[in-house]
Structure 1
Amino acid sequence: MSDLPFDTQTGLLAANRPGDNAEPMSVSELSGALKRTVEDRFGHVRLRGEISGWKRAASGHAYLCLKDDAAVIDGVIWKGQAAALAFTPQDGIEVIATGRVTTYPGRSKYQIVIERMELAGEGALMALFERLKAQLAGEGLFDAARKKPLPFMPRTIGVVTSPTGAVIRDILHRLTDRCPGHVLLWPVKVQGQGAAAEVAAAIRGFDALKPGDPVARPDLLIVARGGGSIEDLWAFNEEPVVRAIADCRIPIISAVGHETDTSLSDFAADLRAPTPTAAAEIAVPVCAELQSLLAELGLRAERCARRYQARAEERLQALVRVLPRRDALLGPQRQRADDLAARLDRALGDRLGRGRRDLDRAGAMLRPAMLDQRVARARDRLASARRLLDSLHPEKPLDRGYAWVSARPGGGVVGTAAAARQAGALTLHFADGEVDAQAGRGVERASAKAYPGKKPEQPTLF
């Protein structure tokens, strides 16, 4: 017999042993029993620990571990509770998680299902602040090179703040006192759950406006909130708000809290204002000061113009003193004019004398005897021309026995025998009349017999 309380001998088949009065349990039955026991005993717990291994699944659920110096417990935050967290968890942050402990039968592990998670005091909040600050600074979101210059006098100013607080009234009052303009308010929550999402959406909404839209695109944005604790101002430390400010193409003034308060939005903005009222003072100049400055500049411009005029008068007077007198300048010209006038008188007298001499010569040539001689010479030239014309008349040779031949009808001159034979009917023109004739072969034969060999050409009448 063995000394052990139970029989340790094993067989091939399971069998009841002395003292074993319970039926064997399945693994699922044991896991279910453990799950019920744990959930009944630890249905509501609050754990303080440091976050480790934080990750968010594609489903929206979040998984993490909570640890201290000696132990670690897995945790899960379902999608609805994860979206409602007031901050973005990060590894190394100490938190207080409220939920219930349960088991996960699939892995034989126990875990806490977190329903609410808060930072474990201001120290943890500041640690989260510094971690996020270092992360965003490492990405270059706070670099001075990213800062945009503010417009000198914006026409439209967009304000992202609560519509019911004193902040918007202070901003509007200060803007009205300094330089009234067009203000667009995008109302948002500035504290509590969902505040960071609303502020980020407002900034991106203003930045999405385009010139020409029904709502005017602001030239400058003011993101403002009144004073409070670091927990009250935490929405302006959230990563979505900081990234929206850094990505905005419109210059932004951050005016969150009082002068001693600092938020990550201040580092990302193009300029930090100590208070919302100071942001309004920075945003626009004083209209009265501008009017005074314009008046002063106008007076300075007028004085400068008068000074230039006075200096020009002085230079003109100095030039007048060194210029020669008018008589000295015009004396030679006047003398030359007198000399030319005298020469003109003499030239006119000489020209008149030459004209008179020419007239006398022409008058002498117009005496009656000279005219008679010219008339006689002209008559002689006319008589010679008439005789030449008579000698050249085509009918003058007819008086000496010549005749000329024309064809009938038409009256064209016939100058050759061939033309006469071709014409047939001819007309012979004599000095005392005309005779019709008919050309024929007998005449041609007679002409050929009368002139053997080469036929003489008909002599010309001229």
Structure 2
Amino acid sequence: MTAAETLINAPEFTVSELSSALKRTVEDAYGHVRVRGEISGFRGPHSSGHCYFALKDESAKIEAVIWKGVHGRMRFKPQEGLEVIATGKLTTYPGSSKYQIVIEAIEPAGIGALMALMEERKRKLGAEGLFDEARKQLLPWLPEVIGVVTSPTGAVIRDILHRLEDRFPRRVLVWPVRVQGEGSAEQIAAAIRGFNALPEQGRIPRPDVLIVARGGGSLEDLWSFNEEIVVRAAADSMIPLISAVGHETDITLIDFAADKRAPTPTAAAEMAVPVRSELFVEVSTLARRVVICWQRSQESRRNELRAAARALPAAGELLAIPRQRLDGAASALPRALKANTHAHFRRFAASSARLTVRVLRGQVAQARQRLTVSGERMMHSARSLLRIRRDRYAGIEIRLKASKLSNAKAQRQAIARDRERALRLAERARRALATAMQRQQARVVHSGQLLAALSYRSVLARGFALVRDEQGAALHAAAEVGPGAYLSIEFADGRVGATADADRAAALPAKPVASEPKPAAPRRAVKPVGQGSLF
């Protein structure tokens, strides 16, 4: 058997069957795989939410896809140029005859990649101004309430509480969160924003300072505090925030966005509150200094009062001159009262001498004369004013009559113009109506002539007849008439009922030989309308 016969005898596959077989082979041979490579061609999620890119190394490249739901749950998001280790399922895409990996998890390949990602994110957020010193807030000197964002089961919260108890006990509100693993960054950011969202005088008091704390660990363990959502939440916090993540050598991006960075959670508690015993000593020192200052001030004022008392004269010397003046005034008072009474008496006597009956009558006469003159002047003024008003009203009346006459004349002219215009419009309307009626009558006459010309009744008048069946449909050929069929024959002057003969061949007329055949008239499709049809 030749090679050609062997190829002919091979089973045939459709393209879809072959693609499906290859897909099953690849998925069965390579289930879940881990692939290390550099992300290439990543431009962010597609409009559908899925991510499409490629993983490459020095000599090969493989297409990769991350579905929308998986991408939303990922802790590390893919970025262009980042070296990662991807875990997923190898499969094929029949639409373009290529194989690809459907990624289910992704992680940076080593500490170097994490550091590169962290530096790139630091430059990006720093360019937005999230790390500027101008944004930093001062910590309150003695906060009433302290908010702590950390894990409730770790040693961090115990260290913070013990340190606060030793230095200065304060009320502590703990917002429990996960400090590493999937979803931890979202919980930390939500806790910071939740503390800021508390009302000032609400049932739950709003903290005066926040502490975001976690114990030490590797860079991967502390990576939640490098996420962009956590850094932005810390930068947007209106409550002063202390970052206490890891040990003194551990650096995270939240340290740059926080208002203060503490090397350890214990140091964060020390930054938040002062030492109570030191405050007691300082308050006692200040109280003692206040008492000493008060004593010195009182002694100084006492000495000043003594000096002022020595400089003042005796009480007798101060009252001697006023007493002498009082004695002189008391001795002069009787003489002054007598002289004042005598002066008032002389004034009253002079006034009573002037008030005689003759003087009073003269004053009354003068007042009556003045009243008479004033009345005459008032009457003259009223007459003059009345005459002026009467003349003015007469002028206004004349002007009003003239205006009334001119207005009536103008109105009559306007009415005359409107009447003429209405007559002209009526004449035009009459002529237009007559013209329209003539046009419509001409159209009706023309339509009647056209109807008479096209009607089949004019054909019937020339001696033709219209044959119909029992249903009233026009018959066009003898072949449509069956033996014994009932026919209705319409002439120009009426209709006649008839029955078809059984022998159709004998009823057909003989074909003329000598005369030339006339061309057959074209058939017209006739609908059963009211006026009928010849054909």
Normalization by structure 2: what TM-score?
Answer: 0.57
Secondary structure (helix, strand or coil) at the match of 1:307 reads helix
Structure 2: distance between partners of 1:280 and 1:18: 84
Tell me which residue corresponds to 1:49: 37
Indicate if the aligned counterparts of 2:216 and 2:247 stay in contact, CA closer than 8 A.
yes
Distance, in Å, in 2 between the alignment partners of 1:18 and 1:117 is: 48
What is the match of residue 91 of structure 1? 80
Structure 1 residues not aligned, in runs of 5+: 7-15, 352-462
Q: CA deviation at 1:80?
A: 4.5
Alignment of 1:28-427 (within 5 A): 28-54=16-42, 55-57=44-46, 59-324=48-313, 328-333=317-322
2:156 and 2:208 map into 1 onto residues whose CA distance is 20
CA shift at 1:319, angstroms? 3.3
Amino acid at match of 2:22: L
More off after superposition, 163-172 vs 185-194: 185-194
How many angstroms apart in 1 are the aligned matches of 2:7 and 2:295?
125
Letter in structure 1 aligned against 2:162: H
RMSD of Structure 2 on Structure 1 (CA): 2.9
Aligned to 1:381: none
Q: Distance in 2 between matches of 1:161 and 1:58?
A: 36
Once residues 19 and 162 of structure 1 are traced to their aligned partners in structure 2, the CA distance between those partners, rounded to angstroms, is 69
Contact 1:227 1:256 in 2 (8 A): yes
Q: 1:337 to 1:213 in 2, by over 3 A?
A: closer
Tell me, yes or no, if the aligned pair for 2:41 and 2:53 is still in contact at 8 Å. Answer: yes
Q: What are the within-5 Å matches in structure 2 for residues 423-442 of structure 1?
A: none
Corresponding residue for residue 446 of structure 1: none
Contact 1:50 1:68 in 2 (8 A): yes
Unaligned runs of 5+ in 2: 339-535
Contact in 2 for aligned 1:95/1:120 (Cα 8 Å): yes
Q: Specify the code of the residue in structure 1 equivalent to 2:179.
A: V
Q: CA deviation at 1:337?
A: 6.6
CA-CA distance at 1:17 after TM superposition: 8.4
Tell me how far apart the structure 2 counterparts of residues 45 and 285 of structure 1 sit (CA, whole Å): 56
Letter in 1 for 2:24: R
Can you list the C-alpha shifts for 1:166-212, whole angstroms capped at 9, x where unaligned? 11111111111222121111111112222212212222222221133
User: Whose RCO is larger (CA < 8 A, sep 6+)?
Assistant: 1
Change (3 A) 1:115 1:129: same
> CA 1:19–1:46 in structure 2 vs 1: closer, same or farther (change >3 Å)?
closer
> Higher helix fraction: Structure 1 or Structure 2?
2
Give the conservation status (yes or no) of the 8 Å contact 1:88–1:238.
Answer: no
Decide whether aligned partners of structure 1 residues 36 and 242 sit closer, same or farther in structure 2, where only a CA change above 3 A counts: same
Amino acid at match of 1:65: A
Sequence identity percentage: 60
**Is contact 2:209-2:240 (8 Å) kept?**
yes
Amino acid across the alignment from 2:175: W
Secondary structure of 1:308 counterpart: helix
1:272: Cα distance to partner?
Answer: 0.8
Letter in 2 for 1:91: E
Q: Which moved more, 1:103-112 or 1:53-62?
A: 53-62
Deviation at 1:330, TM superposition (A): 4.6
> Could you say if the C-alpha distance between residues 41 and 335 of structure 1 is closer, same or farther in structure 2, counting changes exceeding 3 Å?
same
Distance 2:190 2:294 in 1: 55
Higher-Rg member (1/2):
1
Q: 2:378: which partner in 1?
A: none
Report the CA distance shift for 1:315/1:87 in structure 2 as closer, same or farther (over 3 A).
Answer: same
1:358-414 Cα distance to aligned partner (Å, 9 max, x none): xxxxxxxxxxxxxxxxxxxxxxxxxxxxxxxxxxxxxxxxxxxxxxxxxxxxxxxxx
Task: State the shift of 1:24 in Å.
Answer: 5.0
The equivalent residue for 2:422 is none
